[in-house]
Amino acid sequence: MMKFLYSIFLLIVIGVAMMQNMIFLAGIVAVIFTLKFSSAALVVLAIGIDTYFGAFGTMPYFSVIALCWYVCSELIRLRIRIMD
Amino acid sequence: MRGHSSRNQRVNNITLTTIFFAVIIVTGMLLPRIFSLVGTVIMTPVHMVNGWYETSEQAIPVLLRDKSELQDRINILENELLIAKGEDLTFRRLKDENTRLRALLSETDTQRTVAKVIARPGDIPYDLLQIDQGSNAGIKENALVYVGQDQLIGTVFQVSRNYSFVQLFTTPGVEMTGFISGPEVVATIEGVGGGVARVRVPQGIPLTIGDLVYVPSVQPGLFGRIGFVANRPSQPEQFGYITLETPLQSLYEVGVSDITVPQATVESINFGKQSIIAERLLIEEAHTVSFEELLSDSASASTTPEASEESI
């Protein structure tokens, strides 16, 4: 339960940081989130932020970046586990 | 073998998840309106937290906002400081260049006498200063009085042996020609009294606070900065009010130049102009008469061919 609340808290921090244009803070928290949990939730959040800002009318950069981030992080995680 | 299948399963999961999200993103790009509606609902908690952060008067958001604003302010001030440093360098370069050019023109610096202010408005009438140097120290009537190196504040109008009185340019009735550096216009500086002078310029001239006002007839002749602009669009003129950079009560020492500026009233200047015009007109009239006489002489002489040849 605590882990779930912690993940929700981190996601809200990332969302607010993005809305306040504090990209650096959002990036750091996103890295922490990726280390602790699966980054699939970040893609959902990025889609939500892009939707909120109406970016789907043009190009949803956050969603695309988050998807790339998800693929990279999961592949790296997979490699680390194999080496373990 | 088991490890291999587990790895393949994870890769498959990642691939499927990626495809799933990619499909969602593409669908969102194809149906942006529906997505916007759904996204607004999903983002409600984040939006509420964001609103709390932006508008709440509670301690934590106020602290965070203040910190953020202060950080922005620090950044702005640091930028201004950098710009000011650059301007200071430019100022010093221009000053050196000015000194060098003045030296090339053989213009030497004038002598100044330092005098302490011994009475200010309050003890004596407003817009007057009493200084502790007089004719014994070489102070002359109508000598220019400076604060610091550049700022002109008035002239000596009465000299005794050991003290003098300085009349400030802000005295009511004092008028002089000034040059406003921002909009680059010449205007009349009028003393208003109480340590305040003003310039009047027509509407449409971009008069702004901080514009420097010079007295072009004397060097160096910085008079002050415009501290307030009174501009009513219904009026044909606007006024820029100038106060002394240093308050009168803070004046401790002034510099009295050996350059004197003759004081003149408007009437005396007009009288002088009229007398000059009258004198010139008389001379021109005299010249005209003599020229006509010369013409008549030459006409009478040109009745005979010999005479005309001689005149030619």
A56/B11 CB distance under 8 A: no
Q: Residue B312 — pLDDT band, cuts 50, 70, 90? A: very low
Instruction: Give the pLDDT score at B293.
Output: 63
Q: Give the CA distances from residue B199 to residues B155, B216, B284, B298, in Å, rounded to whole numbers and listed in that order.
A: 19, 14, 39, 59
Average pLDDT rounded to a whole number, residues B73-78 = 92
pLDDT given for residue B216 in this prediction: 76
Q: What's the whole-model pTM score? A: 0.46
Q: Is the pLDDT of residue B302 over 90?
A: no
Nearest chain B Cα to A9, which residue? Answer: B46
Average pLDDT estimate for B216-244: 83
Is the Cβ–Cβ distance between B113 and B137 less than 8 Å? yes
What is the percent of chain B where pLDDT is above 90?
4
Query: Looking at residues B281-285, what average pLDDT do you find?
Result: 62
- Chain A residues with CB under 8 Å of B38 CB are 51
| CB-defined contacts A:B, below 8 A | 80
The stretch B73-95 carries a mean pLDDT of: 86
Q: Where are the alpha helices (DSSP H) in chain B?
A: 2-30, 32-42, 44-55, 59-104, 266-301, 305-311
The per-residue pLDDT for B305 is: 47
ipTM of the complex: 0.81
- Domain spanning B112-263: CATH 3.30.360.10: no
Q: List CB contacts (< 8 A) between A56 and chain B.
A: 28-29, 32, 35-36
Residues of A in contact with B45 (CB under 8 A): 12
On whether any CB of chain B is under 8 Å from the CB of A73, the answer is no
Instruction: Confirm or reject contact between A82 and chain B (CB < 8 A).
Output: yes
Return the ∠ at Cα B291 (arms to B288 and B297), rounded to 5°: 145
User: Distance between CA atoms of B131 and B120, rounded to whole angstroms?
Assistant: 9
- Nearest Cα residue to B197 out of B126, B114, B112: B126
Using a CB-CB distance cutoff of 8 angstroms, which residues of chain B are in contact with residue A72? none
pLDDT at B286 over 50: yes
Question: Residues in chain B whose beta carbon is closer than 8 A to a beta carbon of chain A?
Answer: 3, 7, 10-11, 14, 17-18, 21-22, 24-25, 28-29, 32, 35-36, 38-40, 42-43, 45-47, 49-50, 53
Amino acid identity for residue B126 in this structure: Y
pLDDT in the model for residue B311: 42
Total number of domains constituting chain A: 1
Answer whether A52 touches B (CB < 8 Å).
yes
- The residue-averaged pLDDT of B210-217 equals 82
* B20-48 pLDDT per residue, tens: 988 988 888 888 888 778 777 877 877 78
User: Which of B26, B29, B68 best tests the A interface by mutation, with the highest count of A CBs <10 A?
Assistant: B29
Domain locations along chain B? 2-42, 112-263, 268-311
Query: Does B45 sit within 8 Å of A56, measured CB to CB?
Result: no
pLDDT averaged over every residue in chain A: 85
Give the pair of three-digit tokens for residue A29.
């928290």
Question: Tell me, what's the pLDDT at B74?
Answer: 93
Q: Average the pLDDT over B213-232 and give the result.
A: 81
Could you list the residue range(s) of the whole structural domain that residue A27 is in? Answer: 2-83
